[in-house]
Amino acid sequence: MSEEIKAGALPEEEKTPLADELLDWAEAFVLAIFAVVLIFIFFLRVVEVSGPSMNPTLSDKDRLILTHLNYTPERGDIIVCNSPGLDKCIIKRCIGIEGDTVVVDYNNNCVYVNGEKLEETYLGEGMKSNLPVFDQSFLTDKNVYTYHVPEGTVFAMGDNRNHSTDSRSSYVGFIKYEDILGKAFFRFLPFGSFGSVK
């Protein structure tokens, strides 16, 4: 009577429960790593905040997770995008989407979108009107700037309005949809600020 044993396999009587369990754990670990890699390739990205332009909402060195699959920008979203004018990635809040009219009124320290005043509870301080980066071509009144957001673009501003180079600046301007890398939705570092971002 002859028994055939597959190459690399232990005969049934030589297998141990510990070997089975270790093999199961190894398979589960490899599958989990593979799943995480696929999720981050196709659905998510990790970014680090650089600079104070989103204070107090986000701080320098915060680590965020972005979603980018089938993402369409919405007002209020925190977005990360390529900025060809600055030759780097920036993180800002989407204020206006294509077709919107955004009015930035420094006299009354407020922003209007399509005639409605934004309730911006996330701001730390009021806006100053003497920042040198403003694109003067949008000046419609003393310290009032009006922007008509073109198709396929958004108008975005940093929450730290006095220390943000954003869509108000000719260096950034309107941000094209194809330059948007995704929406930031979760902060995982520092641990003290762990959680969703809005």
Mark whether 96 and 166 lie in a shared domain.
yes
Asked, as a colleague might, if the bond just before 56 is cis with ω within 30 of 0, I would say yes
22 belongs to a structural domain: yes
Could you tell me if 35 and 101 lie in one domain? no
61 is catalytic: no
Pair 165, 88 in one domain: yes
- Domain of residue 84, residue span: 71-184
Report how many domains make up the chain.
Answer: 2
Q: Which of 92, 167, 169, 183 is catalytic?
A: 92
Give catalytic status of residue 92 as yes or no. yes
User: Do 76 and 35 lie in a common domain?
Assistant: no
Looking at the fold, whether 162 and 109 belong to one and the same domain comes out as: yes
* Residue 72: Cβ-neighbour burial (10 angstroms; 0-12, 13-18, 19+): exposed
Q: Are residues 155 and 92 in the same domain?
A: yes
Give the model confidence (pLDDT) of 47-106 as tens digits.
999 999 999 999 999 999 999 888 999 999 999 999 988 889 999 999 999 999 999 998
Domain harbouring 120, CATH code: 2.10.109.10
21, 85: one domain: no
The pTM of the whole model exceeds 0.85 = no
User: Looking at residue 133, what is its pLDDT?
Assistant: 58
The span from the CA of 151 to the CA of 80, in Å, is 19
Share of the chain above pLDDT 70, in %: 89
144 or 11: whose pLDDT is higher?
144
- Rg of the chain on CA atoms, in Å: 25
